Structure 1
């Protein structure tokens, strides 16, 4: 693999500020991943051990979960280490998407593992990578699909249909065997034949037997990353909820102060000229309540906790009593999840995408109000993979990744015109101009015979020009057919590197690359030089 940096424009301005001019936004964050910040954060974590959940109980909960989905010797070692007071964590996380979803999920896990290894060497103490599966999220349509590049070089969507998903947490939605059948059949049909295909299909079928999207996701992530000691955590695990209960109580008791802190920081962010990446609404409790399987976002009205439709309604005391009896009914939203992560785990640093960096900026004061400190932030590593044949095509047509990102239609049109050795395009345009130059004076003259003939002459002229253009388009079509193979190469470049007009890592699933190159491809990713600046990099295979 040859890796070349390729800085990308765009992305949320606050995240760009974090990555490229940290001093301008430092007041909103807990620090970037420098040696001195690591050292200081480690000292604070040692001093604040009593503020977090009990390590032994946490390790037991995670052992039970990982025994089921991620039963590797290195994971068991990581969990043994996590019980020790001096062990720290690098965390990353994502929703549980079909077959692990887009490549960025894989890159986030890779970043967390490599950052944990690096921090462990620097600080000379154990640092464990943990992947936080956001199983409590309830948007089924966000997680029920993924995309592959098929044998014909087209973007294909695979999807698990489940009409009864409703608003339940994804972790609690049972996906029966029949629902898995179609995407698995599609996957086998779409993947090219390779020496790795049987193994990959076996992995995906075994994952589908897990009974839920979260179980399937965990099964695949464990298969890919368990050997690196990466521990998996499902945020919807009922056993985890019991450990989180004291912190949920604090979130409810201090809810008004917490809400005020979000609003104050949101105002600071907007005054700095940045857009908010998460809603900060008046009266928002920033908590969900699970009612009859549906995950309801709580708001506050006149001292009462309710939801937008008034389905449930509780006083603060009633909500706290419910928490004591049914902690499994409570769930974090996007602004309280970072706080809960820091309560559960001794987080040295957390791996985030650009959008996540932007909404984490809203939580700075909230951490302080809850007696915590925001962990260090590591922008996840970001890649585009260029396979060997594709690289040759780029060179053949003189294209760069920036060209592809900007769209190839105009460049493709100019290339096709350049293949016109007879200069037919120019000659057709000259013929139309010459005809018009001869015909226009004639139309003027026939007007002296009868005024109505001018309009008829103009209409006649347009018909003749249309016929010339018709022939011109036919010639262009014939030329395109002559260059059909080349034009397919142009399409393959675009669909491979910018599918659906988006970065490859935001669309395509890892299974295409594992099927083509085997698990050694992932091992190669783990050996790449680390870069925690957020700079996008091109991997030339």
Structure 2
């Protein structure tokens, strides 16, 4: 494959806030710590405080998580885990929902970008060690968002009555029935991961480790009692003082006053209560805490006691999950999509309040893969990289006009006809003033007739150029399946099944410090 890039603003896919962040607009400087350049990581390294006690806990928990998933931990993974105990080791992190079979392509792109960042930092700061981390979102409860994947226009979906955090979902008979639909084409490592696991979380850990474990990636599950014990001060403050809500709302209001749209909406309490298949929001009324959609109630004393005894039952929402990640990891950077980067910008005052360093916000790499067939169509139509991001209707209008056998607007004819009516009307008005008005009315009617004829000429040209227009429509469907960008819809198996080296090839194309949109083109032959 060969690589080309276009500026992100030319794709029309990103919000103004995200684009202005990439441009380092001065008014946004207060909402982040360091803009992600190699040089700026020096101050991030110097500013990150992470105790040896936390390091020991993190390493111990990680080793336990791998073993509890029924995995034999390879030596290189053990070495990464042990390295976390050293004061000169830092992490760079990405996270994502626990989509079936990885979900859309950008899941893969996130992790490749993160691994490449760790390698780039090691070159720039050889006295330190950098570990790429995938935060596996086992506490997520939005099952409808993750219970499917799409491949070549078909949606494969698992239906189950299970509720609560999706990581705990059992791979039961309903899953095995679903798996039969895909077993004939999925790679063996997926079969081993899913059929050899009891829960969705176990399977996710196994297949991600298969794909990226040898690159040094560690998989962290935040749903852990020991890890959440590090987060106790935040849990208590959010439940009782509601400070995160106030700080995030203030920042959100500032951004909205500057014309930026809010990505997340803080609540007075930003935790869910999680136990035995339940994950529901906690709310407070008077002096009573209650769990939505249940009959669970707590007094303030009871919920504070429960936090001390069972912190694992308190699951942060999107407002506090970023702070949780940074609290339990020696982390320097978070890599995410445009919406993720944007909502992190609403959260910096919360980090400041709790004395936690705000990480560098790194846009993951964005990419489009063109196979040989679609590349031939693109070449035949003479499309540029920038043309690929133009709307089909705009492109069609320009293309049909450019390649028409005549002026499809009939502009010259319209002007000539208008001039005839104007001149004749001027002469006729000398005979009878009312004739001038009659000729003007006729000129308007004739103009409408010419517009109708121009529409017919344009449609005739579109029929004549039908093959080219159909090819462009086919390209559009390939680039935007279902109307959304390829990387947000297609599963990586679309390319992996015909090219087992596809994921490995991404490491050579992605640069974590290049925020342009990447186009990867498979060469003919």
- TM-score normalised to structure 1 length: 0.79
Q: Would you say the 8 A contact 1:170–1:213 is kept in 2? A: yes
* Equivalences, count: 469
Q: Which residue of 2 aligns with 1:74?
A: 76
Q: Distance in 1 between matches of 2:384 and 2:365?
A: 21
Which of 484, 493, 501 is 1:502 aligned to?
Answer: 484
Which of 507, 512, 521 is 2:502 aligned to?
Answer: 521
C-alpha spacing 1:174/1:53, structure 2 compared with 1 (3 Å): farther
Q: Would you say the 8 A contact 2:183–2:191 is kept in 1? A: no
Q: Deviations over 1:421-460 (max 9, x none)?
A: 9x9x99xxxxxxxxxxxxxxxxxxxxxxxxxxxxxxxxxx
Q: Which residue of 2 aligns with 1:443?
A: none
C-alpha spacing 1:247/1:388, structure 2 compared with 1 (3 Å): same
- Once the 2 structures are TM-superposed, how far is the Cα of residue 498 of structure 1 from its aligned partner? 1.1
Q: Distance in 2 between matches of 1:531 and 1:79?
A: 23
Matched, 1:532 2:513: yes
Matched, 1:323 2:297: no
Q: Would you say the 8 A contact 1:71–1:226 is kept in 2? A: no
C-alpha spacing 1:157/1:491, structure 2 compared with 1 (3 Å): farther
Q: Which residue of 2 aligns with 1:134?
A: 137
Say which SS state the counterpart of residue 362 (structure 1) adopts.
Answer: coil
Q: Distance in 2 between matches of 1:157 and 1:75?
A: 34
- Once the 2 structures are TM-superposed, how far is the Cα of residue 8 of structure 1 from its aligned partner? 3.5
Matched, 1:377 2:364: no
- TM-score normalised to structure 2 length: 0.81
Q: Distance in 2 between matches of 1:410 and 1:86?
A: 54
C-alpha spacing 1:180/1:489, structure 2 compared with 1 (3 Å): farther
Q: Which residue of 2 aligns with 1:451?
A: none
Which of 167, 170, 173 is 1:171 aligned to?
Answer: 167
Q: Would you say the 8 A contact 2:114–2:512 is kept in 1? A: no
Matched, 1:275 2:261: yes
- Once the 2 structures are TM-superposed, how far is the Cα of residue 280 of structure 1 from its aligned partner? 2.3
Matched, 1:355 2:339: yes
What is the Cα-based RMSD across aligned positions, in Å? 3.1
Q: Which residue of 1 aligns with 2:198?
A: 211
Q: Which residue of 2 aligns with 1:242?
A: 226
Q: Distance in 2 between matches of 1:21 and 1:368?
A: 21
Q: Which residue of 1 aligns with 2:155?
A: 157
Which of 26, 43, 48 is 1:40 aligned to?
Answer: 43
- Once the 2 structures are TM-superposed, how far is the Cα of residue 494 of structure 1 from its aligned partner? 2.0
Q: Deviations over 1:129-156 (max 9, x none)?
A: 110011101000000011111xxxxx11
Q: Distance in 1 between matches of 2:116 and 2:136?
A: 19
- Once the 2 structures are TM-superposed, how far is the Cα of residue 491 of structure 1 from its aligned partner? 4.4
Q: Distance in 1 between matches of 2:290 and 2:248?
A: 20
Alignment of 1:331-350 (within 5 A): 331-350=315-334
Q: Which residue of 2 aligns with 1:312?
A: 296
Q: Deviations over 1:403-432 (max 9, x none)?
A: 4433335656887999999x9x99xxxxxx
Q: Which residue of 2 aligns with 1:148?
A: 151
Q: Would you say the 8 A contact 2:95–2:137 is kept in 1? A: yes
Alignment of 1:94-493 (within 5 A): 94-124=96-126, 125-149=128-152, 155-162=153-160, 164-166=161-163, 168-186=164-182, 188=184, 200-209=186-195, 210-236=197-223, 240-253=224-237, 255-281=241-267, 284-308=268-292, 311-408=295-392, 411=395, 489-493=471-475
Q: Distance in 2 between matches of 1:99 and 1:158?
A: 10
Q: Would you say the 8 A contact 1:89–1:348 is kept in 2? A: yes
Q: Distance in 2 between matches of 1:511 and 1:323?
A: 43
Q: Distance in 1 between matches of 2:138 and 2:208?
A: 14
C-alpha spacing 1:142/1:123, structure 2 compared with 1 (3 Å): same
Q: Which residue of 1 aligns with 2:437?
A: none
Q: Which residue of 2 aligns with 1:4?
A: 4
- Once the 2 structures are TM-superposed, how far is the Cα of residue 175 of structure 1 from its aligned partner? 2.4
- Once the 2 structures are TM-superposed, how far is the Cα of residue 357 of structure 1 from its aligned partner? 0.9
Q: Deviations over 1:5-31 (max 9, x none)?
A: 122444222222211234331101121
Q: Deviations over 1:81-105 (max 9, x none)?
A: 1121210000111011010011111
Alignment of 1:19-58 (within 5 A): 19-45=22-48, 48-50=49-51, 54-58=54-58
C-alpha spacing 1:267/1:145, structure 2 compared with 1 (3 Å): same
- Once the 2 structures are TM-superposed, how far is the Cα of residue 522 of structure 1 from its aligned partner? 1.5
Q: Would you say the 8 A contact 2:158–2:178 is kept in 1? A: yes
Q: Would you say the 8 A contact 1:74–1:228 is kept in 2? A: no
Q: Which residue of 2 aligns with 1:437?
A: none
Q: Which has the higher mean CA deviation after the structures are superposed, 310-319 or 215-224?
A: 310-319
- Once the 2 structures are TM-superposed, how far is the Cα of residue 41 of structure 1 from its aligned partner? 1.2
